[in-house]
Each structure stands twice: as C-alpha cells, then as structure tokens.
Amino acid sequence: MKPGGTAGACAALVRRDLTLVWRRRGDALNPILFALMVVALFPLALGPEPEQLRRIAAGIVFVALLLAGLLALDTLFRSDYEDGSLEQLVLSPHPLALLLACKIAVHWLTTALPLIAVAPLLGEMLHLPVAVRGVLLLALLLATPLLSLLGAVCVALTVGMHRSGMLLALLVLPLYVPVLIFGAGACNAAQAGLPFLAPLLWLAAALVLALVLAPLACAAALRISIS
Amino acid sequence: MNILTLWFHKLGSPPTFYRLAGLLLPWCYGIGLLLGLVALYSGLVLAPRDYQQGDAYRIIFVHVPAAWMSLFAYAFMAANAFIALVWHIKLSEILAMASAPVGAAFTFIALVTGALWGKPMWGTWWTWDARLTSELVLLFLYLGVIGLNAAIEDRRQAARAAGFLALIGVVNLPIVHFSVTWWNTLHQGSTIRLMGPSKIDAAMAWPLLLMALATHIWFFGSVLMRARIALLQLEGGKDWVRKVALDEGAAGG
C-alpha cells in the first residue's frame, strides 16, 4: 500500500473516522438508547398483552431501528462539513465515490451494527418468537446497509443546510418504504410459517445494486450541494 | 449548425422561451378547459351507466386521468432533471421544478377521488393495497422534491439537488404502474391498454381518453405558466426581464 495511492487514502480515511468515533464513544450509545425507548413506548401505548405484542414485534423492532438509523444519519457528514474536511475529500485526486463508500461503511459499522446487536433484546421485550429471531437478524443485516446507502445519498443532498433534520426525514422515508416492506415482510412470513426466502433475496439483490450505485449517486449529490 | 439544432438552442434561451410560452399558454389553457368540459359532460351525462356499479363508476373520468398524469408528470420532471444535470440547461431545471407541484396536485386528486370511490365500493376510504401505497409514496416523493427545492437558497443549486432526488425516485414509477400485476391485491388491474384490446366499452372509453388528453394539455399550460414566472424570478436583474416588465407595465397601465 503506497502512501499516496487510493488504497492508502481509503485506509487513512477509515482509520480517521474510526478514531473520531472512538474518541466520542459515548455518543455511539445514543441510537441504541433511542431504539430501546421507542420499543418501550409500544407496550405502554398498546397494553402489555403478550399475544398482541408478539404479533407486531418484528415490525416494531424494524421501525425502531429504521428511525434510530435515520436520526444517526445526520452525523455522517456533519462534522466533516463543518471543519472543511469534506471539501478536501471532494477535491482529492482519488475517486470520491470510493472514499464515500468507506465513510458509509464506517458509519454503518459504528451505528447500525450495534443496533443489530441489541435487536434480539428488543425482540425479547416484545415477546418475539425465538424461531423468528434468526430471520429478523438476517433481514436486518441485509436491510441496514441498504438504509445507510440510501440515506447517505439524501444526506449528501442536504449537507450544506442548517436545520436539515426534518427535511432529511421527508426525503429519506419514502425511499425506506420498500426496504421496510421486504424486511418486515420476511419476518412476518416466517412468523406465519410461510416461505420467507423471496423477500430476503429481494433485499439482497437491492443491496448489491445499491452497493454499486449508491456511492456514485452520493458523490454526484455531494458535488451538487458543495459546489 | 443545422436549422433544427439552431432552433433547439434558441428555444433554450430564456427570453425566447418566455415569449413562446406566452404565446402557447392561452391555447393550452383554452383547449385543455374546453376538452375537459366536453369530456366531463360526456363522462358524467352521456356515457352509459355501469351494470354493476351504477353511477358511482363515473368518478373514473377524473380518477384515472389524474392517476395517469401523476406518473406522466413525474416522468416529465425526471426527464427534465436528467437533462438539467447532464447538460446544465437552465430551462430544464426550471421545467422540472415547475412540474413538481402540478404533478403533486394530480397525485393528490387521484388519491382523494380513489378514496371517495372506495368508500361505497370497497367499504373503506383507504386500504394498504400495493397500488394505493405506491401512489402515496409517489406523493411523498413529490413533496420531498418540492421541500428540498424550497429549502436551498440558491435557485439553480436547489433545482439541481431536487432534480437529483427526483431521479432517484424514478424507481417508484414502474412499481406504481405494475403494482396491480405484481401484487394481486384489492385495486383492479388495468382495463385500458396501449398494446392489445382494452376491456372497457367504447362508449365509456372515449370520454376517458378525451379527459386524459385534456389533462395533458392543461398540465403543459400549467407548467409553462410556472416556468415563465420562475424564469422572471431567476433572471430578475437581466435586460430582457427589465424590457418585459416595462413592456407589460406599459400595456397594462
């Protein structure tokens, strides 16, 4: 790995982002706490009957994680935009899409992966059947990178704005709908004893597509909003 | 440069477009309104009653053209956004952003008329059927594009960013169109086809198609109107705008 090469730049970027997250590791807990609290609201609102909760558990966990991920999206480029390093990334001679893909990957590792790790706990709070847990985790593993990639494109569009939070949600949520339908659909099918492979394969196909296209789209969007 | 390219380049210049759009505008509104009234009369009065739904089916003369227009307007917006992003044509940015509110209005009309029809026929205002859900997502996409366009200060950057979002949302168009085929839920399949025989009686088909034509023409009138105003705002300080303002001020007062 040459110091001036693209691989070197990507590695440096990943190391830097991981270090930044590690220095403020308390913040990394926030999405998890948020998801926990959202899930805790449902039994309080709907009543504690296990039968009812069991029926909607997978969907609630999915929505809670999706919302937590949505709130965490803002941190993807925020500090980089404020200290100017995002502009340096755009100006750098290395392919911007690749650098952004590294950033998105680190962001997914540090926000979505911890959320997936607590998903079994969230499921347990809502009496999710044990048999569905595996499908839920698998669906989340396929869906959350997809959410991060789609979200990153929208964040790139809103990056220069003050108070972009609400607008970002308006842009991102319509794009999240199909992911939610297939992800939660797989869990519901598994819970009903139906074949659940097809929605998971759809998610996987969409993920492959997004892995290729989303970083490119993200780069194009960033060039629009930084220009 | 051959004559067609020259004409195309001229059309892309704001003053020429402003003038041409001003000439076309009354015709678009006039013909659109006339055809719309004829279609409405023939749909609501002349067309025969449905043997099963009675008169309630007549809402399709508004619902179906509005739903078609919701897709057409999005495709028009996305095509213009694509042109704007690739070739940096100012006029395409304006046209794309001008069609967003019109398309959103058609989507809203399609959803509301569908709900009004659904209550007596399906027994519910709303159901989470694939077609209805994807059409609702389409409305959200329109609103996202409008919101992003309004949120950015710089008009051209706003149009480019919102246009980019519109391009991402194109994924939803085939989903809306094929939703009745892919998921066999409550909303009926398409009765009118470009390819192959339609499953609708000719006496009901022609007011419907006439209304579709009327909404298309009205749509272009509306977009041209919005585009003209947006052009004046964007080019506010330029000579031709000052000239237009002086001329129209002289003509008006």
Q: Does A162 touch chain B (CB under 8 A)?
A: no
Rounded to whole angstroms, the Cα distance separating A194 from A192 reads 6
Query: Are A157 and B151 within 8 A, CB to CB?
Result: no
Interface of A with B in 46-105 (CB under 8 A): none
CA B182 to each of CA A24, A79, B64, B179: distance values in angstroms, whole numbers, following the listed order: 47, 43, 20, 5
Interface of A with B in 204-223 (CB under 8 A): 217, 220-221
Torsion of Cα atoms, A213 then A200 then B186 then B112, to 10°: -40
Helix/strand/coil for B154: coil
Q: Which pLDDT score is estimated for A222?
A: 92
pLDDT surpasses 80 at A61: yes
Q: Widest CA span of chain B, in angstroms? A: 63
Structure confidence by residue, pLDDT tens digits, A135-169: 999 999 999 999 999 999 999 998 878 777 788 98
Please give the angle made by the CA atoms of B122, B125 and B130, to the nearest 5 degrees: 75
The arithmetic mean of pLDDT across residues B216-221, rounded, is 94
Minimum-distance CB partner of A174 among B144, B151, B157: B144
Torsion over CA: A136, A142, A148, A151 (sign): negative
**Residue % of chain A over a pLDDT of 70:** 99
Residue A104 lies in a domain: yes
- Residues of B (119-138) whose Cβ lies below 8 Å from A: 133, 137
CB contact under 8 Å between B151 and A174, yes or no, is no
Rounded to whole angstroms, the Cα distance separating B253 from A57 reads 68
Least confident of A32-41, B95-104, B175-184, B186-195: B186-195
More confident residue, A11 or B192: A11
Residue of A nearest to B140 (CA): A174
Beta-bridge mates of residue B50 = B54
pLDDT tens-digit map of B172-194: 888 888 887 777 667 777 776 66
Lowest mean pLDDT among A1-5, A74-78, B35-39, B154-158: A1-5
Residue B54's DSSP bridge partners are B50
Q: Per the CB < 8 Å rule, is B157 touching A154? A: no
Q: Residue written as tokens 């999915």?
A: A62
Question: What pLDDT shows up at residue B252?
Answer: 63
In this prediction, residue B47 carries a pLDDT of 79
- Per DSSP, B153 falls in state S
Predicted confidence (pLDDT) at residue B136 exceeds the cutoff of 60: yes
Question: Does residue A155 belong to any structural domain of this protein?
Answer: yes
B174 touches chain A (CB under 8 A): no
Enumerate the H helices of chain B as residue ranges: 3-12, 14-41, 60-87, 90-121, 130-151, 155-169, 172-182, 202-234, 239-252
How many C-beta neighbours within 10 Å does residue A27 have? 13
In a domain, A210, yes or no: yes
Interface mutation target, options B132, B148, B153, B172, chain A, most CBs of A under 10 Å: B148
Question: Which of A 178-197 lie inside 8 A of B, CB atoms?
Answer: 178
Angle, helices A197-226 vs A130-158, to 10°: value is 20
Q: Is B175 on the interface with A (CB under 8 A)?
A: yes
**How confident is the model over B26-63, as pLDDT tens digits?**
999 999 999 999 998 988 888 777 777 777 788 888 99
Query: Rounded CA gap, A63 and A188, in Å?
Result: 13
Rounded-to-integer distance, Cα B110 and Cα B95, Å: 22
Domain boundaries, given as residue ranges, for chain B: 62-228
Task: State the smallest CA–CA distance between residue B182 and chain A in angstroms.
Answer: 13
Q: Which domain holds residue A107?
A: 6-226
Phi, psi dihedral angles at B51 (to 5 degrees)? -70, -20
Task: Return the residue of A nearest to B137 by Cα.
Answer: A174
Quickly state the pLDDT bin for B132 (edges 50, 70, 90): confident
Cβ neighbours of A86 (radius 10 Å)? 21
In a domain, A67, yes or no: yes
* Of the partner residues B140, B165, B175, the one whose CB lies closest to the CB of residue A157: B165
pTM (2 decimals)? 0.87
Quick check: A174 and B133 CB within 8 A? no
Q: What's the total number of domains in chain A?
A: 1
| CA–CA gap between residue A216 and residue A211 (Å, rounded) | 9
What ipTM, to 2 d.p.?
A: 0.82
- Neighbouring CB atoms inside 10 A of A56's CB total 17
Contact A174 B175 (CB under 8 A): no
